[in-house]
Copies of this chain bind each other. A is one copy, B any other.
Amino acid sequence: MSPATAAPEAPAADRAYRHVKSGLLDGTYADGHLLSEGEIAGTLNMSRTPVREAFLRLQTEGFLKLYPKRGALVVPVTPTEARALLEARLALESFAIDKLAALGPETMAEIGGELARHPACDATDLTDAELHEADRAFHAHLVAAAGNPVVEDLYNALRDRQMRITATARTHTRRARITKQHAGLAEAVRDGDPALAKDRLRGHLLETVQALDVSGGPLLEG
Binding site for B on A (CB under 8 A): 11, 52-53, 56-57, 60, 62, 68, 81, 84-85, 87-88, 90-92, 94-95, 98-99, 101-103, 148-151, 153-154, 158, 218, 221-222
Contacts and interface: CB of A to CB of B under 8 A. Distances in A.
Question: Main SS of the interface on chain A?
Answer: helix
Given A56-B56, A60-B57, A148 B218 contact: no
A17 B134 CA distance: 38
Contacts of A87: 95, 99, 148, 150-151
A154 to B, nearest CB: 5
Nearest to A56: B56
A162 to B, nearest CB: 10
Counting chain B CB atoms within 10 Å of each CB, which of A87, A102, A150 scores highest? A150
Contact of A150 (B11, B52, B60, B88): B88
Contacts of A151: 84, 87-88, 91
Contacts of A11: 68
B154 A88 contact: yes
B149 A221 contact: no
Q: How many copies does the complex hold?
A: 2
Given A56-B53, A56-B57, A60-B60, A150 B84 contact: yes
A81 B62 CA distance: 25
A76 to B, nearest CB: 14
Contacts of A92: 91
B221 A102 contact: yes
Nearest to A93: B91
A75 to B, nearest CB: 12
Nearest to A96: B91
A101 to B, nearest CB: 8
Contacts of A154: 88, 154, 158
A216 to B, nearest CB: 16
Given A56-B56, A98-B221, 5 more contacts: A11-B68, A87-B148, A88-B150, A90-B95, A91-B151
Counting chain B CB atoms within 10 Å of each CB, which of A53, A92, A95, A101 scores highest? A95
A153 B154 CA distance: 11
